[in-house]
Amino acid sequence: MNSNTGICEDNVILTDDMFERIGTKGLSSEQINKKSLTYWGDVWRRFKKNKLALVGLVLLVVVILTIYLGPLVSGKNYQFMDSTAKDLKPNSEFWFGTDEMGRDIFTRVCVGGRISIIIGLCCTLVMFTIGSLLGAIAGLKGGLIDNLIMRICEFVGNLPYLIIVVILSMVMGRSIFSLVFAMSLTSWVGTTRMVRGQILQIKEQDYVQAAVALGANTKRIIMKHLLPNTLGIIMVTITMSVPGFIFSEAFLSYIGLGVRPPETSWGALASAGQQRLMFYPHELFFPCLMIVATILAFHLIGDGLSDALDPKLRK
């Protein structure tokens, strides 16, 4: 071996027998290649690396399983009134205690959680759908369409929220549908403005201009290029909106505009428990505990999704 050139002076012929495959014996080149990941597969891979996000996901799953399977496990009816079991503290039979009518609080918290989460998710879905589409169209098209959508946003955004809810509750009655309709009527305005601002920045990127030059229609540009690149900030807004709508429902239930009895929700339970806080604090503690756990779970998941959905952080 020549140390100056690093070239072997002897004419040595290298053959396959002189080498040994390590870890790939019997595999073809196609099998050795790394398995390709889809977009959502890559999102899940990065999401799993965030430990707090996984904690939030587990916590949310526990809350959902509790509110849907809890009544089946306890065997109680949330409307059943037992005159011999009024205002009991948590015990082996009544896990969360009972209220002034002898109803099992654990079962009522579970049933109320279903209504609260359904209202929060439905309002968020309406907000996301309307706000994302209008914001994307306004940011991409610009001109007259942009001005028209923004003027509509200004008009709807200036409508008094509480007055609208009161009027709609009187006209449509106190029901889940009327609550969702009233709370989501003006909620999409902020999402529209946020998405529009993001689209105005993204649409000038080269890949968007290339898609326009290749003749891609507006729907494809929005769904394939614009919205996926705004999902990070949109997901943060969504995860903040779900607990926000739960709080709104709790406030409306507190002032008597929530779901109609005998149906209940976390807000209605918290409102009833607040009046008896001094003597029976467990009636307020458990609904509030479920609200806090749900909000914490959504916030942790939102932080994880905002990083996992950000295209700039992909590796």
pLDDT of residue 113 exceeding 80, the answer is: yes
pLDDT at 35: 62
pLDDT at 61: 93
Q: How far apart are CA 235 and CA 61, in angstroms?
A: 18
Lowest mean pLDDT across 44-48, 91-95, 207-211, 255-259: 255-259
pLDDT of residue 169 exceeding 80, the answer is: no
Question: pLDDT tens for residues 172-193?
Answer: 777 778 888 888 888 888 888 8
**Dihedral over alpha carbons 297, 303, 309, 310 (to 10 degrees):** 180
Domains of the chain listed by start with CATH number: 91-313 (1.10.3720.10)
pLDDT at 3: 47
Q: What is the mean pLDDT of the segment spanning 132-151? A: 86
Q: What is the mean pLDDT of the segment spanning 45-56? A: 86
Which residue matches tokens 């019997």? 26
pLDDT at 201: 82
pLDDT at 225: 75
pLDDT at 30: 53
pLDDT at 5: 46
What is the overall mean pLDDT for the chain?
A: 80
pLDDT of residue 69 exceeding 70, the answer is: yes
Q: What is the pTM of this model?
A: 0.74
pLDDT of residue 25 exceeding 80, the answer is: no
pLDDT of residue 83 exceeding 80, the answer is: no
pLDDT of residue 2 exceeding 60, the answer is: no
Note the Cα 143 to chain centre separation in Å.
33
pLDDT at 313: 60
Q: Which residue has the higher pLDDT, 57 or 232?
A: 57
Band of residue 302 on the pLDDT scale cut at 50, 70, 90 = confident
Question: pLDDT tens for residues 245-294?
Answer: 887 887 787 777 777 777 788 888 888 888 887 888 888 888 889 888 98
pLDDT at 206: 80
Band of residue 6 on the pLDDT scale cut at 50, 70, 90 = very low
* The most confident of 18-32, 50-64, 232-246, by mean pLDDT: 50-64
Question: pLDDT tens for residues 120-129?
Answer: 888 888 888 8
pLDDT at 247: 79
